[in-house]
Structure 1
Amino acid sequence: MTDVLVIGSGISGLTYALKVAQALPETRITIVTKGNKDESNTKYAQGGVAIVSDFDKDSFEKHIEDTMRAGDYMNERSVVEMVIRQGPERFKELVEWGARFDANDKGTYDLGKEGGHTENRVVHHKDITGYEIERSLLAMIEITPNIELLPHHYVIDLITEHHLQQQELNIEDINCFGAYVLDIHTKKIKKMTAKVTLLATGGLGHVYKNTTNPIIATGDGIGLVYRAKGKISNMAFVQFHPTALYDDKDGRLFLISEAVRGFGAKLRTMSGEKFMHFYDEREELASRDIVSRAIDDIMKKTGAEYVGLDCRHLDQEKFLNYFPNIFQACIERGINPFEELVPVVPAQHYLCGGIDVDKDGATSIHNLFSVGECTNTGLHGANRLASNSLLEALVFAHNAAKASIIKLKQKNFDLEKITAVPDWNPAGASISDELVVLKFLREELQSIMSDLVSIVRSDFRLKLALEKEEQIYKSVKKIYKSSVLSPQLSELRNLVSCAYLIITDSLRQKENRGAFYNKNLNQ
């Protein structure tokens, strides 16, 4: 048993855990993560944190309007205002915890500019901002005595009345009592009860063949809440990053930060022609949905597998100072950005919808909070503005921690009813013959989503995708009932759930907004 169970070890989960731990030093907090302790979407965030810091040139109002415009005005304005106005204070706390950010010659923060921003406002650490934030937060976690971090622990399901009573409940009456967790090393399933549980599980990138997300991004939090009958929405709005480094192999693609285009890089066809001026007056600095669709359109028209990012005209010394890791990644792949076009393609990058939460990060399930990419906060609307995700994580982690502290002080938790762990491994069950099948089904699901539910969708493609997803769902359900539980099987269950939610929500959409585009709606 623990007082607070945090699922996920990115910026959202770690910030939340630190705030609760510091406010309530007698409270026991347990963080579980299925990979290494530092493996998260946060670690791979290159661009930075979008905050207003230069009030001579910038303002909260400008940042609010940029966010609303990027989200195609489907954002919840009160949430946008709350997050942006809280930003400077939350960022200050991050710096106090030891995170380092680049300064300019004047000794103030060096501010980058990315797509959709009308002013330079992105604070950063080289091109590895997320890595620096993760480093500083983990260092704080290690010296906080009432926090325990358990890597290689995979959450199978939330503990709710569904497990305790084996019956359907009114969705307004569901409570969370912790989670059932698989220790990946011992293969044993643990019952981890908690007064308060936080989901900070990140994205679902690997529901697609190509993504900028790490391998752990399999939509686990959304799958957990879906099975627990929690509320989830806006799943049709999947953001594709315009410039991932092209690779002829499927999987995680290396991200070429939007800040490179903010620095002055230009998109060209592989024969050398510029094209963004045909699609938006902001050209390369248009929002991600517009740039991704433009690249997708050019690739379809020319039959090319990628387009080029032109960095040859940029100041080489400054480029190397700002983007050393991007430069090195290109060189390792035999590409010199100063001499040739860098081949780039759009890749799945971010989910703008997810688990419904209020301004305190509270979900529709009692005693369950959620923060970060797995949530639908209302900040992003139909499309996320670049570098707003780390900002969102900081603000909502703060709010969720405050609400959790109030709840924990009430001390009216009844965890005695949680007794045994359900038997997930039926007699005679085996996994030895199933791993190849799980791999096949996962790749088939990724192909369906990438080919039929990608940047540009259609009614026919979506209906076909739903038929194919249903077949995979039935196969996975059959395997689940007769096999030993494994992380691979659990991840596939979650990916299938996420695919279903994306497809069905896409079929319900009646207009093209932000990251969602159905060509039948434009005729």
Structure 2
Amino acid sequence: MKKQYDVIIAGAGVAGLYAALNLPGSLRVLMVCKRELTLSNSALAQGGVAAVVDTTHDNYKLHIADTLIAGGYKNNLAALEVLVKEGPGDVLHLLSLGVDFDEDSSGNIQMTLEGGHSRRRILHHKDNTGWEIVNKLIERVKALPNVDIHENAQLCSLQKAADGFWGFLFEKGEMAPVFAPYVILATGGIGRVYQYTTNSAIATGDGITFASDMGARIKNLSLVQFHPTVFATAPGGERFLISEAVRGEGAVLLNCDGERFMHRYDEREELAPRDVVSGAIMQEARRTGSDKFYLNISFKDTDYLKNRFPNIYARCLQEGVDITRDKIPIFPCQHYLMGGIDVDLHSKTTIDGLYACGECSHTGVHGLNRLASNSLLEALVFSRRAAADIARQAKPGYQPMSEPSPIRTEGIPIPSGLRTEIRDIMQSCHFVVPNPAAAREGLGRVERIRGMLSSGSFAVTPEYVEVKSLATVASIILREASGQEENRS
């Protein structure tokens, strides 16, 4: 690995990969990937990417209106207009990069419907859209001579210097400093702060913690989205999602008695936005005294289901559920983060030279609740904008004038069980229905853990970095949720 680059990109999901593709070939780029390239929340995205590409039956105003409704009208309208108006160009660009979106019998792009959308505007690749996009972008980025990709390499520290940033990278058992005038944080979500999540193992909020430690503005971190239809009996912390598109294609929600219930809570029934459906499930659980809920699409044609949802069909079958014959057990689960590192329309943070895009950023496009399939669109649009803004300023081949401050590589290991304790606190204190009193109680416990980790006694290792990130993220979330730091737009 070189010791200096023009741009460091932390994260290799859609946001990080698309940023790399849009940076000029004259810039030296380091892409840091904590695990293998294909492990990211982007790769797990099932449903698709929302965009107005069919202007005969759809338009920008409808997409904006749907997003505002889902977001409780607390969205950043300027950012939302950028998202919706520029997004279709980026989505169609994916076609030229080899992404295989499903087509109908006439060869036209096939679009599906998802909760909260008033039109069929979701482009998809069966139920593996994120995997398809990520893999095609990886092929393109690997072919770029100016991009060095380091897999299984963890950024353990990020320091702001007068002329840029020093990062410390842990790779193959060694810690090494690396410099760049510009950094793009594309580190994804915070799901691993919860006991149960749809997020991948790397989603520990590292980028948000680095930015917060440097003094960047963090906004609306308590706006956590809980997806209503997650397979309920899968073991372990990571649970697999039953895509919004399943309801878009006609699936119905059933309670413990096998009855539909959404009509009691919202006229849009199963196609209401995610927060509404998750809230309805919690209310119905209290009404019935049961947490047994199901999603049923078995009345659809068997061959259609196997072809349209091959991944979901196979995963459910592994759990003993045949979606062509059986009801799917589901329950809400942590899924997405609407808040994050606050950025402007060019993905610039409040720290000069530092950019953030994708789930770790807060553009404001989602408001209080993300509309289904707007996340991949946001990652595309605002990572391209970050790359363009850097391209306007960067001077290729810049040599650092500063030196990094040393970090602790010697010290005692952190106590065992801290991850589990933090996750238990978050699961009980900040789940679907807000509970400020529980959040205040949990905050005190998390702050004690965070204070201990910041005491200076522990060696900076990948394990330390992740646990400190979980404690930091949990602390910010619970502080907001308890009303001690109100930061909602």
TM range (shorter): over 0.9
Equivalent in the alignment of 1:378: 364
8 Å CA contact retained: 1:178, 1:197: no
| Cα separation, partners in 2 of 1:414 and 1:29, compared to 1, 3 Å | closer
Other structure's SS at 1:384 match: coil
Other structure's SS at 1:493 match: helix
Offset from partner CA, 1:394-438 (integer Å, 9 cap, x none)? 1101111110001114x696721125x514123xx343xx4xx33
| Cα separation, partners in 2 of 1:279 and 1:124, compared to 1, 3 Å | same
* CA–CA distance in structure 1, aligned partners of residues 118 and 318 of structure 2: 34
Deviation at 1:292, TM superposition (A): 0.6
Equivalent in the alignment of 1:446: 423
Deviation at 1:298, TM superposition (A): 2.0
Equivalent in the alignment of 1:239: 225
Equivalent in the alignment of 2:475: 500
Equivalent in the alignment of 1:12: 15
* CA–CA distance in structure 1, aligned partners of residues 407 and 237 of structure 2: 34
Match of 1:3 among 3, 6, 25: 6
8 Å CA contact retained: 2:252, 2:296: yes
- Greater mean alpha carbon deviation, residues 41-50 or residues 241-250: 241-250
Other structure's SS at 1:373 match: helix
Equivalent in the alignment of 1:167: none
Other structure's SS at 1:471 match: helix
Q: How does 1:168-207 map to 2 (within 5 A)?
A: 176-183=164-171, 185-186=172-173, 188-207=174-193
Structure 2 residue identity aligned to 1:459: P
Match of 2:408 among 383, 399, 424: 424
Q: How does 1:42-441 map to 2 (within 5 A)?
A: 42-161=42-161, 176-183=164-171, 185-186=172-173, 188-247=174-233, 249-409=235-395, 415-419=400-404, 422-426=406-410, 429-431=411-413, 434=414, 437-438=415-416, 440-441=417-418
Offset from partner CA, 1:241-289 (integer Å, 9 cap, x none)? 1111012634010110000000000000122011100110000000000
* CA–CA distance in structure 2, aligned partners of residues 486 and 145 of structure 1: 31
Offset from partner CA, 1:90-119 (integer Å, 9 cap, x none)? 112111111110001121111011010000
* CA–CA distance in structure 2, aligned partners of residues 313 and 400 of structure 1: 46
| Cα separation, partners in 2 of 1:233 and 1:181, compared to 1, 3 Å | same
Match of 1:471 among 435, 448, 452: 448
Structure 1 unaligned runs (5+)?
A: 162-173, 515-523
8 Å CA contact retained: 1:43, 1:131: yes
* CA–CA distance in structure 1, aligned partners of residues 300 and 333 of structure 2: 25
Structure 1 residue identity aligned to 2:406: P
| Cα separation, partners in 2 of 1:247 and 1:488, compared to 1, 3 Å | farther
Number of aligned pairs?
A: 486
Deviation at 1:175, TM superposition (A): 6.7
RMSD over aligned CA atoms reads 1.9
Other structure's SS at 1:329 match: helix
Deviation at 1:509, TM superposition (A): 8.4
Deviation at 1:143, TM superposition (A): 1.2
Equivalent in the alignment of 1:39: 39
8 Å CA contact retained: 1:237, 1:352: yes
* CA–CA distance in structure 2, aligned partners of residues 457 and 266 of structure 1: 26
Offset from partner CA, 1:43-84 (integer Å, 9 cap, x none)? 000011100111121111100100111110000111111110
8 Å CA contact retained: 2:479, 2:485: no
Structure 1 residue identity aligned to 2:463: Q
Other structure's SS at 2:181 match: strand
* CA–CA distance in structure 2, aligned partners of residues 189 and 112 of structure 1: 47
* CA–CA distance in structure 2, aligned partners of residues 308 and 314 of structure 1: 16
* CA–CA distance in structure 1, aligned partners of residues 457 and 479 of structure 2: 28
8 Å CA contact retained: 1:207, 1:495: yes
Equivalent in the alignment of 2:434: 457
8 Å CA contact retained: 1:158, 1:176: no
Q: How does 1:16-35 map to 2 (within 5 A)?
A: 16-20=19-23, 24-35=24-35
Equivalent in the alignment of 1:519: none
Deviation at 1:305, TM superposition (A): 3.4
| Cα separation, partners in 2 of 1:176 and 1:453, compared to 1, 3 Å | farther
8 Å CA contact retained: 2:164, 2:179: no
* CA–CA distance in structure 2, aligned partners of residues 287 and 306 of structure 1: 21
Offset from partner CA, 1:159-215 (integer Å, 9 cap, x none)? 214xxxxxxxxxxxx8741412211x22x2111100211000000001110110001
Deviation at 1:488, TM superposition (A): 1.5
Other structure's SS at 1:415 match: coil
* CA–CA distance in structure 2, aligned partners of residues 326 and 144 of structure 1: 34
* CA–CA distance in structure 2, aligned partners of residues 176 and 294 of structure 1: 48
| Cα separation, partners in 2 of 1:176 and 1:380, compared to 1, 3 Å | farther
* CA–CA distance in structure 2, aligned partners of residues 133 and 64 of structure 1: 24
Other structure's SS at 2:438 match: helix
Other structure's SS at 2:7 match: strand
* CA–CA distance in structure 2, aligned partners of residues 149 and 246 of structure 1: 36
- Greater mean alpha carbon deviation, residues 91-100 or residues 206-215: 91-100
Deviation at 1:302, TM superposition (A): 2.9
